[in-house]
Chain A
Amino acid sequence: MSASATLVARACDACLRRSWLIARLAGHIELAWTARRGSSALLALDEAALVDALGGGRRSAIAQEHVRFDPDALRRRCAASAVAASCRCDASYPAPLRELPDAPSVLYARGRPERLAEALERDRVALVGARRASPYGLEQARGLARDLAAAGLAVVSGMALGVDAAAHVGALEGEGLTLAVLACGPELAYPASKRRLHARIVDVGAVVAELPPGTAPRRWCFPARNRIIAALAQVTVVVEAGERSGSLITAGQAADLGREVAAIPGLVSSPLAAGANALIADGARLVRGAHDVLELLPGAPARAPERADPRRAGLDPDLVALLGCVCAGRDTAAALGGDAASVDAILAGLAQLELRGLVRRAAGGRYVPAA
């Protein structure tokens, strides 16, 4: 709490005022965003221009509120929610964010500020993807995040349903650092079903956001949040994304910032993989595992000693064949069931692979190769 307090104190009045204004205008930005479908330049405007452009009939009232704004009230609000704040004028402000043309004036953080600082010293990889992901996508996100976190990287994502949450879970499993960037105030668990995950990330990592505590998310906040994810990470990996997925926005923003963009390929026939596959076709790095990501980062080979998967050691040839079938997409016990005589063997084999941690059971009785 004391660390948070110092950080709150470090955010200057001017930056807090601007941050407050963005939150105050959130509804107005929503209207503009809906009407023009994404005017990304908005957040780069100065404060007077923002009020002018968005205030509409309430322009003067908002301008007056803006003048009367009490930064100490916001500081108290932050302290009450155990939220730290660092502003653009401060050295603790994440340097990568300064590269954004519309960098947030204040970054609010819930969790452990020293972990945020630590993450900024490490290499950071963003994992983003579909909310309605397939078991394959979830498993890949989780496995990749786990391996990257174990290799000492910080995993950045948006705590959304599906791939984002799986990435955080994987990073936590890898006992590494993970940062969640939210589209609302950092103390709000959004989506609510991820409140347990939110609490765990707050415990061991940090949850950051552009908007001050108490701000609910609006639709424009999500692409705005994506630019922070893209800026924070050196590499953005798209795990599963449809053709019009928000993850592609993140990838585009990362490319605009000169960051590396990578993607995990999916089945050509799967609509869920269309976006990720298109990125690869356009030159994004193809990711098969953590080593592909590490190669994109300087000094990586030293950190990624190649070693054989211990789970596969001494695996029976029949089981290797069975694992091959599962990896090839014959992923239900029923699809594997060739004839009556082999049903026992297939069931026993799948159980053995599961015990070794090579496959995992997912919805619909599917077996997914564990990444």
Chain B
Amino acid sequence: MPVVLARVLTFAIDGVDPRPVRVEVDIRPGLPTFRVVGLADAAVREARERVRAAILNSGFEFPARRITANLAPAHLRKVGPGFDAALAVGLLAASGQCSADALDRWAIFGELSLSGELRGCRGVLAVAEGARRGGLAGLVVARERAGEAALVDGVEVAAVGDLRGIAALLDGGEAPPPPAPPPVPASDAGVADALDLADVRGHELPLHALEIAAAGGHNLLLEGPPGSGKTMLARRLPALLPPLTRAEALEVTRIHSVAGITHPGALAAARPFRAPHHTISPAGLVGGGRPPAPGEASLAHHGVLFLDELSEFSRPSLEALRQPIEDGEIVIVRGQLALRFPSRFALVAATNPCPCGYAGSDRACRCGEHELARHRRRLSGPLLDRIDLLVTVARPTAAALVAPPRASSAAVRERVLAARERQSARFATAPIHTNAQLDARLLRAHVQVGAPARRALTQAYERGGLSVRGHDRVLRVARTIADLAERETVALDDVLQALALRSREDADEAVAA
């Protein structure tokens, strides 16, 4: 009996990137066994049982011989159930139950049910991108996730329902086209089901700060007593940001797909808003685990990461956020491999003004100086250094609750867009896109400050309330306020507003001495 060998192409997900994997199936005489080798994890080894049942239940024959399946390259760790279909097809091809001719043109990705049904797996979009990059003509995926794969241009997607369907396709059948995505309303594309500012009453000051944060890409800290509306305000930031471009939406969808989050209409329509609980681990926040999965910071890529109760997050978690805030990506090193998770997000943090939460509100604060000092310490440090704006949120007055709404999100977004365009024009030659990314050197090169504004800054600096970093932060925010006001030179008013919105780095330092 001749030795028969079949090769099937599929992909493993490494972080959020696809890695080509070849499934080789070798069938030879001997005691009937079925072994899978090639650094496969438990889910892959369990594939043997699913593959056996799926083949038999689809009306094929499971060869009673010595079967060895190898997942190559052997050094790459393979996880998850996405190799089921490729293993089954390899077996069918090696035992002559389907044609092997087309196997070098199609990648096959998906999990099998015991009945032979093809199921969708996480990371289909990444796999489709891998198929395009690998120069493959097409990709076979489950019908339910085919819409996602079809987002990638240049790859033919076969939306197949079961193992028989794959066999039919390989035997020369017609590729079933993916279902058309449900239509997205064109006018609102990019900001679908976002919450609108028109629902907000009162809160003029925080809304003003949100607009500045959106326009300049600044990170924002909301401070206020419980129930004052911090979360409600933060949730409205995504709708103020410019709509997702198609490239951005693809990136978001790819990361979400790997994490198992699906979007109606396959493509992410709105900027993500992630609000992890403060008990989250560092790995949960920035990604990690075994196998490394994207964390909340990556799921918030191109969107908003909201940290409520900032002072309650563990210090390691907050420290871990420094890299993504700084670099816009997270690098996780495991053994010899380094995984990159993109994570460029707008950070909105919220905190109570003191441990009991009522300092500065109508109710009396019950905190002692010790507790306040500890609260301040927990809020200080390197993360706070990356937050340009601090705004106090108070409960709106009764009068404000019945007042007519102020501008809608769309109106604010227009101003934000205009301000962003001014920034793009200004930074055409610089390696940055927004004012928030201005460092000391770029500030000097790109920000013109009027004489009165310069005097106010100097005065604030010399009075001791402003550190060197604080000075730069104020200038960055002032630049954004000027952009919103369509001024090329930063004016006195811009600097004054920025001063009032600066984080309180060392207020009360003297009294606390």
Contact = CB atoms under 8 A, between A and B. Distances in A.
Interface of A: 131-132, 138, 142, 161-162, 165-166, 169, 173, 193-194, 196-197, 200, 270-272, 331-335, 337-340, 343-344, 346-352, 354-355, 357, 360-366
Interface string B453-496: 00010011001010000000000000000000000000011011
A365 B496 contact: no
A200 B205 contact: no
Given A193-B373, A335-B394, A357-B463, A348 B496 contact: yes
Nearest to B203: A334
Contacts of A333: 205, 391-392, 500
A273 B407 CA distance: 42
Interface in B177-214: 203-208
A51 B376 CA distance: 47
Interface stretch (B56-64, B115-123, B248-256, B353-361): B353-361
B372 interface: yes
Contact of A355 (B364, B406, B456): B456
B86 interface: no
Contact of A132 (B208, B368, B493, B510): B368
Contacts of A173: 510
Interface stretch (B300-308, B323-331, B501-509): B501-509
B465 A194 contact: no
B373 A332 contact: no
Q: Which bucket holds chain B's interface residue count?
A: 35 or more
B370 interface: yes
Given A132-B369, A364-B354, A332 B360 contact: yes
B245 interface: no
Nearest to B501: A347
B223 A360 contact: no
A220 to B, nearest CB: 22
Contact of B499 (A331, A351, A357, A365): A351
Interface of B: 203-208, 223-224, 353-354, 359-361, 364-365, 367-370, 372-373, 376, 390-394, 406-407, 456, 459-460, 463, 465, 492-493, 495-497, 499-501, 504, 507-508, 510-513
B508 A362 contact: yes
A344 B508 CA distance: 25
Given A131-B369, A363-B354, A169 B359 contact: no
Contacts of B359: 363-364, 366
Contact of B372 (A334, A352, A360, A363): A363
Contact of B493 (A200, A337, A348, A361): A348
Contact of A361 (B369, B370, B456, B507): B507
Contact of B500 (A194, A350, A357, A364): A350
Nearest to A365: B392
B507 A360 contact: yes
A131 B367 CA distance: 11
A349 B493 CA distance: 9
A269 to B, nearest CB: 10
Contact of A363 (B360, B370, B391, B393): B360
A275 B496 CA distance: 39
A215 to B, nearest CB: 23
A349 B492 CA distance: 11
B204 A365 contact: no
B369 A344 contact: no
B510 A364 contact: no
A348 B500 contact: yes
A309 B512 CA distance: 27
A351 B208 CA distance: 16
A1 to B, nearest CB: 26
A340 B465 CA distance: 28
A284 to B, nearest CB: 24
B353 A364 contact: yes
A193 B361 CA distance: 27
Contacts of A272: 364
A355 B354 contact: no
Given A347-B501, A362-B507, A165 B463 contact: no
Contacts of A350: 500
B204 to A, nearest CB: 5
A169 B510 contact: yes
A123 B392 CA distance: 43
Nearest to A342: B204
Contacts of A161: 368-370
A261 to B, nearest CB: 25
Contacts of B354: 363-364
A89 to B, nearest CB: 37
A263 B372 CA distance: 26
B513 A194 contact: yes
B223 A347 contact: no
Contacts of B223: 364-365
Nearest to A355: B459
Given A138-B508, A338-B204, A363-B376, 4 more contacts: A131-B368, A193-B512, A363-B508, A364-B353
B507 A355 contact: no
Contacts of A361: 504, 507
A242 to B, nearest CB: 11
A72 B14 CA distance: 77
Contacts of A332: 360, 392, 394
B332 to A, nearest CB: 37
20 contacts: A131-B368, A132-B367, A161-B369, A165-B511, A196-B513, A197-B513, A335-B394, A337-B204, A337-B205, A338-B204, A339-B204, A343-B208, A347-B205, A349-B496, A351-B499, A354-B460, A355-B456, A361-B504, A363-B360, A363-B507
Nearest to A168: B513
Given A132-B369, A173-B510, A340 B500 contact: no
A194 B370 CA distance: 11
A142 B492 CA distance: 31
B496 A343 contact: no
A162 B369 contact: yes
Nearest to B474: A351
Nearest to B208: A343
A266 B366 CA distance: 18
